[in-house]
Amino acid sequence: MAETRTPDSRRRSERSRRAIYEAALALVTEVGYTRTTIEGIAARAGVGKQTIYRWWPSKAAVLLEAFLDLAAQTSEGGTELPDTGDLAADLRLVLRATVDELNDPAHEGPSRALAAAGVVDAEVGAQFVEKLMEPQIEAYIRRLRSAEAVGQMRAGTNARIAVELFIGPLTHRWLLRTLPLTHEYADTLVEYALHGLAPRA
């Protein structure tokens, strides 16, 4: 399955790589993940199949890299949350942006495909988390620590779990398509997470 004899990456064709990224993303968007085949990607990219098998171990790996490449282009390194001093406002802004991104049909196909692949295949999942989720989560953590420092968050809060209070419900709703993702939803989420469901004492 995987290549045993490792190829010489210096001689790799940049042209082919880019063509493969584009073909992979296009196909996943057009026909879905399962009907996207390596053969199809190769044909569309004008590339020999072996060129794919030489550099990637699986369809999921191709797609992950293609997606990372796309993400890198889109958000030019900007993995930092705004910090206006008003935690609630900042979170609303970010979550609304996330909602918009998740609703963007261009990203939907590849994102769902990767998420699903990661759910089933631990290897892919680990890559997915490390490359895509982790940077985002850490940006949240930094913002929450900053809030904690200025007394907008309870001291001693487990930042990771705190982050999940925002991201978890959003992801849940998106993955399972239970109800639509709206800006209002994002706002409510921020409200509930910050001030709790219990009545104020």
Q: What residue ranges bind a copy of itself (CB under 8 A)?
A: 32-34, 87, 112-113, 115-122, 125-126, 128-129, 133, 137, 144, 151-155, 157-158, 160-162, 164-165, 167-173, 175-179, 185, 188-189, 192-201
Q: Would you give the distance in Å from CA 26 to the centre of its chain? A: 18
Rounded distance between C-alpha atoms, residue 160 and residue 144, angstroms: 10
C-beta of 18 vs 79, nearer to a copy of itself:
79
What one-character DSSP code corresponds to residue 11? Answer: G
How many helices (H) does the chain have, and how many strands (E)? Answer: 10, 0
Rounded distance between C-alpha atoms, residue 181 and residue 184, angstroms: 8
Rounded distance between C-alpha atoms, residue 128 and residue 68, angstroms: 9
Q: Could you tell me which stretch among 37-45, 78-86, 138-146, 179-187 binds DNA (CB under 7 A)?
A: 37-45
Tell me which of DNA, a copy of itself, none is bound by residue 73, counting a contact when its beta carbon lies within the kind-specific cut-off of 5 to 8 angstroms. none
C-beta of 17 vs 33, nearer to a copy of itself:
33
**Among 30, 32, 35, 191, which residue sits at the site for DNA (rule: CB under 7 A)?**
35
Asked if 20 and 47 count as a contact pair (C-beta separation under 8 A), the reply is: yes
**Among 22, 54, 70, 137, which residue sits at the site for DNA (rule: CB under 7 A)?**
54
Q: Which residues contact 39 (CB under 8 A, 6 or more apart)?
A: 49
What one-character DSSP code corresponds to residue 35? Answer: T
Interaction between residue 123 and DNA (CB under 7 A): no
Interaction between residue 122 and DNA (CB under 7 A): no
Tell me which of a copy of itself, DNA, none is bound by residue 47, counting a contact when its beta carbon lies within the kind-specific cut-off of 5 to 8 angstroms. DNA
**Pattern 3-22, binding to DNA, x per CB under 7 A?**
x---xx-xxxx-xx--x---
Interaction between residue 38 and DNA (CB under 7 A): yes
Tell me which of a copy of itself, DNA, none is bound by residue 135, counting a contact when its beta carbon lies within the kind-specific cut-off of 5 to 8 angstroms. none
CB of 131 to DNA, least distance (A): 21
- Which amino acid appears at position 179 of this protein? L
What are the b/e assignments for 131-142, b being 16+ CB within 10 Å? ebeeebbebbee
- Which amino acid appears at position 102 of this protein? L
